[in-house]
Structure 1
């Protein structure tokens, strides 16, 4: 009997110890929650600035560096070809060239930075390798589809010789007639783009001294021939990585100016294309483009929302499309061939060929261009725009679209190009549409609202701690949790007078605390 009493007594003691430990643990946890919540609220600005700093820190092992080194998500490059349907009417001045758009031909593009070098002046140098993989299942047809267009090699040769002597032009004309006999060419899409095709005129041009020095280092013609998987085609970049110049191009091919334009137009400025200045302003946005060897100036076009985030939208407008009429400082981009609004001369950047860039289907361009051809239908579908989150400079959506054109002019002495109307011949256009993936958008959303999140989470933590403490005290004072039951109504009744007389508040609070302590002890 005595032994049973002792066992029961030990059980009661152990039970009280467990309850006491539970109370102590709960109180400790509550205090930690309250303190942590307060600290989280007070440290919200520091946490925000630290996260922003990590986002704009380009060091090996950092998240941003991995994004910079290689594209972490799928990016597609769509190409549309223009098929010339009436080449037999080329010398008939009463008929316009008719074109039919063929596409898209979709390629997955992977961009990787190589030969990365960090410098002590807070810059980084690198090469850029692009790889394209054809996606037949997402394309209109395979790369064997035939395309008829004007012969780019012949047009470029005639353009180069336009100011040479009559005998030089006549000799080229004889060679052109004997080799080709016509100005159009029909090749497969694959040959036109990446594979390249043999052209006898390239070999002939290499024998002419003043022509060969401007020829590209290739044995075939193709718009993207030798570019796929090339580590050198895009050149060598040098970009700033400190707080003030993060993402801004300092040098390209070891120079701060390009040799293709004069004056201010030769300056290498703006984003290198991976990062953009932060915070953004509601003004012009500069991006250096290696395809045109120049800085593209995009105009601010208002605010736009994507995935519940506000962004600044920039489009190609007057500062890019004008040749000096509206924006006088743009005149140096003409390089001697100032044309109506909407067409950019890139001939010097493209080895002297008469290359001109516009928006697809001559969108936004002077009606002059559209009146020279048939089959093109410009619309908002052909706009070039970017939507960037203003606090971080991170792209929310990009739709990059450009069209490649050849200027075809009558050249006296070259029979295949004499007595014709001047025309800007549309060759192809491409687009690259990017929308920030939901996984990255969620992380960016958290980053942008991290201060508010700290306040909400900190408040919830502190309130949870306070409520737990209140509940523990309430349970202690109204139940037999510590071995003695009190009458709940009596307990509440004892608390009521605390709110009746303000003058006696302090002694009554002390009495309440004593009441709580007595319950714990008992």
Structure 2
């Protein structure tokens, strides 16, 4: 048992080599740990921060939020008018002297806190103001002369009232000795003084119409607990909503402005923001006195006095710009263009009981300089003194420093009939400006912020360096030692090893003792000749293989870790929304086939029986489909990283498809339809005086109420002889073919969002349409009392060609329906499998859905549910309304007037099937029916009176999207079905490759042995001792013999 085979087995079974393999495994684990820390450490820290900042009752951050450990200050600067008499009598320019600061400290506390079930808190805010004369320029009793705001507000509001009211107001003011300027103390101006006009109003106004205040003061009623009830998100369920207002006094939106976007309330109160803020984030602050959300954008990185780094956010320059410079501000003009504010001002009269109050930044910073020079004494604005900003700690979203600087101005209108203000010109008169904010936070708060900002990155870097450096060092050391040891063993003469001799003696003694009857003489082991002994030396090629396998193992491990941290679908979506020229979806979108239009007309089969009174209902026979192929394309005008402007060419070519229509000769078929020109004109005249009806009957005496003609005639060439006569009274188009005007070639210019920087969820959402944010056909309606809800605002809507990826069931999707002159919100209905693809089904109009208020009436006809006015969309502004075909989903009692209609969901419901992952519409079927709403025609002739209060169906159409190109379909299929499995496949393959290459390295060190031999060698290592003596004294001889035989083989 002391031959070469036994010596080799004993040597290779020792722990000398095994400990280096353990070292390599440990080194690999350390390197992988360093990579994991590099990729995922920030995720762990963010999760800790999220839990720490969320508002949980009893937590320290909750206590800081409920009763902030800060002392905010508000400094006020009053514009004291020094030449009030000269200004009124001589027309001199007003001279003001800025007096201040008058400083108050504030104590904030949230009271009446209630925790709600939906992850929100409701509370009232208590603010206590304390005057600080030591920080002020003088006492509160300092007297100033300022415009009489109640009086000037009343006179300005009376400018467009009846003249006798203005004269009466002048007399009242003369009796009460009310003047355009008042002399009051600073304290009275802020906290209230008795005004004779308000006192008179209080005595005159009925008790049920009680005025909101009894005295006038710019901060009247603000010192104490506010009655406003605020509900905000705690961030426990969704950290992205942390601090965001959910409701204000029970409202989720403001009632003042013309769009939902401008009426949003989902900002914070300015003290906290959602954490993990980056430079691209837009923050929003809501304050009741601002009357809107104030956006804040990143300006620069700053360092506070507490050595806490922060981001400075300021209002963008466009926030108070006029609509000429920033059209999106049109929504803040509730009465249209005339109500828009001058550049640099914001009209808050709707929030101030219609007082003409205008807000700006101090000294008219960022406003037209002409506003500042209307009066003398206001120095040019300086950014350092007059800029509005928030300094925010980005990791936790906590406000570090604030300078909320706002100037209050009064928009005065000259009223000549009121002698007290006859010489008071149209002017934006500055009253005062204030600066509210905090300078620093307590050390306890800033220490926590410094820790959250500074310590985790250092720990991360330290862990990465330590783990990777230690892992690489151990890997290099163990590799070197293994190669060096392998070379030593390959050149060792095993027969003369003294190291093995001692072990062999002890082994022989053990064998002689246990196997006396079967003792085998020493040296009789079957050993190969010396010149045939195994040479373990690693050759250059084997060393190259070893290095390659080591690198492959590390590379595979890296690929596995990266695949764990990267979402393949998300990365593909980012490429998709970049909308590059070489993308297949781009080519498909540019050369879009648009689709097919199927038209259906209603042939009246009993026209004569209806007119003579035999039948009381019209019998309708549906004719169709008449199918046309619609060809158009999109033309890119300008493209940037964030948006693309393109021209959509609709109806470039319209081709009749006889083989797909109900009959190849269908266009020549003769049918009978109601005379839509006659009935529409009568409806337009119906609101005039009764004698107009007699004149109308006389002019149209030769016109029939039912017209006979071919389908082609009604679709493309419909005109009437009486049209020429009626055109003298109405502006009319000569050709009233149902499709002639609808399918005229049209062009629209869209600007839409692209690129991941704009947000994947905002991909292809419209920024403007024809350089406007409002559909021109509905602009007038947005200025009316129901303009707020009018679906005419295109910003954020979609043009139905592309949708954002990763659509959820509650993702808001709105389409611009050009043919309907409105926007249409898509209503999620459910999931549906279409051609093997899982899709979301959206409907255009829900059954019995009430139309927006501005679209509920057509020429005096109150429309039933699931219908909306479309008169601004059709030729001649004819009375028209749209519904779904056969009045599907409407509560209109059509059975009272018609026979032959069969509304059903399958044939008449308009819908979109959207693949939610890619945002690609699989199929779209827009189904609308054009109807003629006829009002009460009681003053017209009998032939027209018979149609009173009817809603006549004219025709309906189905627009079906063209088939997607095969390449787009295949790519979509790959994204849905392959990419998720591909990610797991890559991870699995990388892991298996790492294991295989690791085992290959081990085999190379053992002389490129087989996996079976490697298994036995590992078994031998586990069964072997720490040295050969222990091996011999611990295990039976047959186990050692097997080990030796395997190793030698």
What's the TM-score, normalizing by structure 1?
A: 0.75
Determine the C-alpha separation between the residues in 2 that align with 1:92 and 1:455: 73
Which structure carries more relative contact order (alpha carbon 8 Å, separation 6+)? 1
SS of the residue aligned with 2:366? coil
1:497-512 aligned at under 5 Å gives the runs none
SS of residue matched to 1:91? helix
Give the alignment partner of residue 218 of structure 1, picking from 200, 213, 223. 213
Whole-Å separation in 2 of the counterparts to 1:441 and 1:374:
44
Give the match for residue 366 of structure 1.
368
Give 1:358 deviation, angstroms: 0.6
Residue 255 of structure 1 corresponds to which residue in structure 2? 251
Q: Is the 8 A contact 1:299 1:319 kept in 2?
A: no
Aligned to 1:414: 418
| 1:443 maps onto 2:448 in alignment | yes
Uncovered stretches (5+) of structure 1, i.e. residues with no partner: 1-37, 463-500, 508-522
For 2:361 and 2:326, locate their aligned partners in 1 and report how far apart those are by CA, in whole Å: 18
Stretch of structure 1 that moved more, 312-321 or 185-194: 312-321
CA–CA distance in 1 between the matches of 2:121 and 2:79? 40
Shift of residue 311, structure 1, vs aligned partner: 2.7
Deviation readout 1:450-479 (Å, 9 max, x if unpaired) = 3245469989x99xxxxxxxxxxxxxxxxx
User: Which of 217, 222, 226 is the matching residue for 1:231?
Assistant: 226
- How far apart, in 1, do the equivalents of 2:281 and 2:344 lie? 21
1:186 to 183, 193, 202: 183
Q: Give 2:289's aligned residue.
A: 291
Distance, in Å, in 2 between the alignment partners of 1:348 and 1:119 is 31
1:40-119 matches, cutoff 5 A? 48-49=45-46, 51-92=48-89, 94-119=91-116
Deviation at 1:127, TM superposition (A): 1.1
2:207 & 2:371 partners in 1: Cα distance?
29
Deviation string 1:247-292 (CA, Å, 9 cap, x unpaired) is 1111111011212222232222222323212222424321112112
RMSD: 3.2
Correspondence 1:303-322 to 2 at 5 A:
303-306=301-304, 307-322=306-321
Distance (Å, rounded) in 2 between the aligned partners of 1:212 and 1:220:
18
Once structures 1 and 2 are overlaid, which stretch shifts more, 239-248 or 202-211? 202-211
Q: Tell me which structure has the larger Cα radius of gyration.
A: 2
- Alpha-carbon contact 2:239-2:274 (below 8 Å) kept: no
Match in the other structure for 1:131: 128
Contact 1:297 1:319 in 2 (8 A): no
Alpha-carbon separation, structure 2, partners of 1:251 and 1:181: 41
Deviates more, 1:90-99 or 1:361-370: 90-99
Deviation at 1:362, TM superposition (A): 0.9
1:379 corresponds, among 377, 382, 385, to 382
CA shift, 1:185, in A, is 0.6
CA spacing shift, 1:182–1:447, aligned 2, 3 Å: same
1:231 and 1:87, CA in 2 relative to 1: closer, same or farther beyond 3 A? same
Q: 1:173-231: per-residue Cα shift (whole Å, max 9, x none)? A: 1111221253111011111112x211111122235659995x74221111112220133
Match 2:267 to one of 267, 270, 292: 270
| 8 Å Cα contact 1:298-1:319 kept in structure 2 | no
> What is the aligned partner in structure 1 of residue 580 from structure 2?
none
Deviations 1:69-106 (A, max 9, x none): 11212211111111110001223565211111111111
Q: Structure 2: any 5+ residue segments left out of the alignment?
A: 1-32, 468-483, 489-498, 500-1049
The answer for the alignment partner of 1:327 in structure 2 is 326
Q: 1:45 to 1:369 in 2, by over 3 A?
A: closer
Partner of 2:150: 153
Shift of 1:328: 1.5
Contact 2:108 2:127 in 1 (8 A): yes
Counting only pairs closer than 5 Å after superposition, residues 477-492 of structure 1 correspond to structure 2 as none
- Rounded to whole Å, the distance in 2 between the matches of 1:310 and 1:438 is 15
Q: Does 1:163 align with 2:160?
A: yes
**Conserved? CA contact 2:244–2:267, under 8 Å:** yes
For 2:167 and 2:358, locate their aligned partners in 1 and report how far apart those are by CA, in whole Å: 26
The alpha-carbon distance between structure 1 residues 452 and 259, as it changes in their structure 2 partners (threshold 3 A), is closer
Which whole-Å CA distance do the structure 2 matches of 1:288 and 1:431 have between them?
A: 17
Query: Structure 1 residue 164: deviation in Å?
Result: 1.7
Cα shift readout 1:360-414 (whole Å, capped 9, x = no counterpart): 1111111120121111112121110112222222223211100111111101321
> 1:216–1:351: 8 Å Cα contact kept in structure 2?
no
1:246 aligned to 228, 242, 246, which one? 242
Q: How many residues align?
A: 430
The Cα of 1:435 is off from its aligned counterpart by 2.8
Distance 2:45 2:321 in 1: 42
Residues 178, 355 of structure 1: alpha-carbon distance in 2 compared, 3 angstrom cutoff: same
TM-score with structure 2 length normalisation? 0.38
Q: Does 1:355 align with 2:357?
A: yes
Cα 1:49–1:182 change in 2 (3 A) is closer
- 2:199 is aligned to 203
Q: Is the 8 A contact 2:194 2:215 kept in 1?
A: yes
Question: Do the aligned partners of residues 341 and 456 (structure 1) sit closer, same or farther apart at CA in structure 2, a change above 3 Å counting?
Answer: closer
Q: Are 2:428 and 1:431 equivalent residues in the alignment?
A: no
**Aligned counterparts of 2:255 and 2:351: Cα–Cα separation in 1:** 9
Q: Which secondary structure state, in structure 2, belongs to the residue aligned with residue 429 of structure 1? A: strand
CA contact (8 A) 1:395 1:436 kept: no
Provide the residue aligned with 1:491 in structure 2. Answer: none
Hey, what's the Cα distance between the residues in 2 that align with 1:369 and 1:419? 19
CA contact (8 A) 2:124 2:225 kept: no
